Amino acid sequence: MTSRGTPSRFLQSVLQNGVGRYVCQLKRISLIFSKKAQSSLGVREFIEEGVVDYAKKNPSTVVYVSPQASRIPKIVAEYLNGSVREEIITNKTSPQVLELLTKLTNQSGLDIIRIRKPFHTDSPSIQGQWHPFTNRPPSIGPIRPQKQDNK
Protein backbone atom coordinates (compact mmCIF):
# COMPACT_ATOMS: atom_id res chain seq x y z
CA MET A 1 0.00 0.00 0.00
CA THR A 2 1.29 3.45 -0.76
CA SER A 3 1.83 5.84 2.07
CA ARG A 4 -1.17 7.90 1.02
CA GLY A 5 -3.49 4.97 1.62
CA THR A 6 -2.31 4.28 5.15
CA PRO A 7 -3.98 5.94 8.11
CA SER A 8 -2.22 9.06 9.31
CA ARG A 9 -2.46 11.84 11.86
CA PHE A 10 -0.77 15.07 12.77
CA LEU A 11 1.83 15.40 15.46
CA GLN A 12 -0.06 15.99 18.71
CA SER A 13 0.08 15.51 22.42
CA VAL A 14 -2.46 14.51 25.04
CA LEU A 15 -3.92 17.51 26.93
CA GLN A 16 -1.18 19.95 25.78
CA ASN A 17 1.25 17.83 27.76
CA GLY A 18 4.48 19.62 28.49
CA VAL A 19 3.11 23.14 28.15
CA GLY A 20 2.63 23.45 31.88
CA ARG A 21 4.32 20.38 33.29
CA TYR A 22 5.22 16.98 31.90
CA VAL A 23 2.99 14.09 32.88
CA CYS A 24 4.22 10.57 32.16
CA GLN A 25 1.46 9.03 30.07
CA LEU A 26 2.06 5.42 31.07
CA LYS A 27 -0.19 4.72 34.04
CA ARG A 28 0.09 1.00 34.53
CA ILE A 29 2.27 -1.83 33.31
CA SER A 30 1.83 -5.56 33.93
CA LEU A 31 4.52 -8.13 33.28
CA ILE A 32 2.87 -11.45 32.55
CA PHE A 33 5.24 -14.39 32.54
CA SER A 34 5.51 -18.07 33.40
CA LYS A 35 7.45 -19.42 36.37
CA LYS A 36 8.75 -22.41 34.44
CA ALA A 37 8.71 -21.80 30.71
CA GLN A 38 11.93 -21.36 28.81
CA SER A 39 10.50 -18.48 26.79
CA SER A 40 10.17 -16.26 29.85
CA LEU A 41 13.70 -16.83 31.11
CA GLY A 42 14.75 -13.28 30.27
CA VAL A 43 11.68 -11.78 31.95
CA ARG A 44 12.37 -13.75 35.14
CA GLU A 45 15.92 -12.46 35.07
CA PHE A 46 14.65 -8.91 34.57
CA ILE A 47 12.26 -9.29 37.48
CA GLU A 48 15.12 -10.42 39.71
CA GLU A 49 17.49 -7.68 38.59
CA GLY A 50 15.82 -4.62 37.22
CA VAL A 51 12.12 -4.31 37.93
CA VAL A 52 12.54 -2.68 41.35
CA ASP A 53 14.93 -0.11 39.91
CA TYR A 54 12.48 0.59 37.11
CA ALA A 55 9.60 1.06 39.56
CA LYS A 56 11.68 3.38 41.73
CA LYS A 57 12.71 5.43 38.74
CA ASN A 58 9.10 5.77 37.53
CA PRO A 59 6.92 6.44 40.58
CA SER A 60 4.06 7.54 38.36
CA THR A 61 3.68 4.09 36.83
CA VAL A 62 2.18 1.18 38.73
CA VAL A 63 4.09 -2.03 37.97
CA TYR A 64 2.32 -5.36 38.39
CA VAL A 65 4.22 -8.63 38.15
CA SER A 66 1.93 -11.57 37.63
CA PRO A 67 3.15 -15.14 37.11
CA GLN A 68 0.69 -17.13 35.03
CA ALA A 69 0.89 -20.53 33.40
CA SER A 70 1.40 -19.16 29.92
CA ARG A 71 4.03 -19.90 27.36
CA ILE A 72 3.99 -16.43 25.88
CA PRO A 73 5.22 -13.76 28.28
CA LYS A 74 3.99 -10.27 27.56
CA ILE A 75 3.93 -6.69 28.73
CA VAL A 76 0.53 -4.99 28.95
CA ALA A 77 0.88 -1.21 29.03
CA GLU A 78 -2.09 1.04 29.83
CA TYR A 79 -1.96 4.73 29.00
CA LEU A 80 -3.73 7.73 30.46
CA ASN A 81 -5.86 8.24 27.38
CA GLY A 82 -7.30 4.75 27.80
CA SER A 83 -5.37 2.87 25.16
CA VAL A 84 -3.87 -0.51 26.01
CA ARG A 85 -0.83 -1.97 24.27
CA GLU A 86 0.34 -5.54 24.52
CA GLU A 87 3.91 -6.39 23.66
CA ILE A 88 4.99 -10.01 23.38
CA ILE A 89 8.42 -10.64 24.87
CA THR A 90 9.05 -14.28 24.05
CA ASN A 91 12.74 -15.20 24.32
CA LYS A 92 13.81 -11.63 25.07
CA THR A 93 16.79 -11.09 27.32
CA SER A 94 16.74 -8.87 30.39
CA PRO A 95 18.31 -5.78 28.74
CA GLN A 96 15.95 -6.13 25.81
CA VAL A 97 12.97 -6.16 28.16
CA LEU A 98 14.27 -3.04 29.89
CA GLU A 99 14.72 -1.34 26.54
CA LEU A 100 11.15 -2.15 25.55
CA LEU A 101 9.84 -0.91 28.91
CA THR A 102 11.69 2.38 28.50
CA LYS A 103 10.23 2.80 25.05
CA LEU A 104 6.71 2.15 26.33
CA THR A 105 7.26 4.63 29.18
CA ASN A 106 8.24 7.40 26.81
CA GLN A 107 5.31 6.92 24.46
CA SER A 108 2.12 8.95 24.69
CA GLY A 109 -0.43 6.22 24.05
CA LEU A 110 -1.79 7.81 20.90
CA ASP A 111 -2.13 5.26 18.13
CA ILE A 112 1.07 4.59 16.29
CA ILE A 113 0.40 5.48 12.68
CA ARG A 114 2.13 7.56 10.09
CA ILE A 115 2.69 11.14 11.22
CA ARG A 116 2.28 13.50 8.33
CA LYS A 117 4.94 16.00 9.29
CA PRO A 118 7.46 16.01 12.11
CA PHE A 119 6.10 19.39 13.26
CA HIS A 120 2.65 20.88 13.75
CA THR A 121 1.10 24.21 14.67
CA ASP A 122 -2.49 25.26 15.24
CA SER A 123 -1.88 28.76 13.93
CA PRO A 124 0.21 28.39 10.77
CA SER A 125 0.50 32.06 9.93
CA ILE A 126 1.16 35.01 12.21
CA GLN A 127 0.29 37.62 9.62
CA GLY A 128 -2.84 35.82 8.48
CA GLN A 129 -3.37 33.56 5.54
CA TRP A 130 -2.85 35.00 2.08
CA HIS A 131 -5.92 35.53 -0.08
CA PRO A 132 -6.32 37.32 -3.42
CA PHE A 133 -7.19 40.58 -1.66
CA THR A 134 -4.13 40.87 0.55
CA ASN A 135 -1.96 43.91 -0.16
CA ARG A 136 -4.44 45.28 -2.65
CA PRO A 137 -5.86 48.79 -2.52
CA PRO A 138 -9.57 48.79 -1.59
CA SER A 139 -11.77 48.58 -4.68
CA ILE A 140 -15.11 47.08 -5.58
CA GLY A 141 -15.50 44.93 -8.64
CA PRO A 142 -13.68 42.07 -10.29
CA ILE A 143 -10.00 41.54 -9.58
CA ARG A 144 -7.80 42.97 -12.33
CA PRO A 145 -4.05 42.90 -12.71
CA GLN A 146 -2.48 45.72 -10.73
CA LYS A 147 -1.61 48.84 -12.70
CA GLN A 148 2.05 49.20 -13.60
CA ASP A 149 3.73 52.25 -12.10
CA ASN A 150 5.85 53.13 -15.13
CA LYS A 151 2.88 53.53 -17.46
Partner 1 sequence: MASGYILNRGALTLGIHCQRVCRNISVTQVREKKRWMRAYTYLMEKKLKLEGPPPPKPRSQLPNWDYHAEVQAFSNRLHENFSLELLKTAFINPCYLQAEQERRRGLGVDSEAAALVLKDNIQLSSTGAALTKSFLTDWCRASFPSLPSEGVEGIVGHLTSLTVVAHVARNLGVEDLTMSAECPVPDDVIHHTFMAVIGALEKSSGVERTGYFLRDFLATQLIGKDLFDIWTVVNPMGLLVEELTKRNIALPEPRLIRAAGASTVLPLYFVGLYSDKKLLAQGPGETLVAAEEEAARVALRKIYGYTENRRPSDFSPPQQHQQPLITSVSSN
C-beta closer to partner 1: residue 91 or 102: 102
> Which one of 122, 147, 148, 150 is in contact with partner 1 (CB under 8 A)?
122
> How far apart are CB 28 and partner 1 at their closest, in Å?
7
CB 90 within 8 A of CB 72: yes
- State which of positions 55-94 bind partner 1 (CB under 8 A): 59-62, 64, 66, 80-82
Sheet holding 26-33, edge to edge: 62-67, 26-33, 74-79, 84-88
> CB under 8 A: which stretch of 40-48, 93-101, 111-119, 135-143 binds partner 1?
135-143
Largest CA distance in the chain: 92
Phi, psi (degrees; rounded to nearest 5) at 8: -145, 165
Is residue 106 a contact residue for partner 1 (CB under 8 A)?
no
> How far apart are CB 30 and partner 1 at their closest, in Å?
5
Q: Which residues contact 60 (CB under 8 A, 6 or more apart)?
A: 23, 24, 26, 27
C-beta closer to partner 1: residue 5 or 59: 59
CB 82 within 8 A of CB 34: no
| Interface residues toward partner 1, by CB under 8 A | 14-16, 19-21, 23-24, 27-28, 30, 59-62, 64, 66, 80-82, 122-123, 126-127, 132-133, 136, 138-143
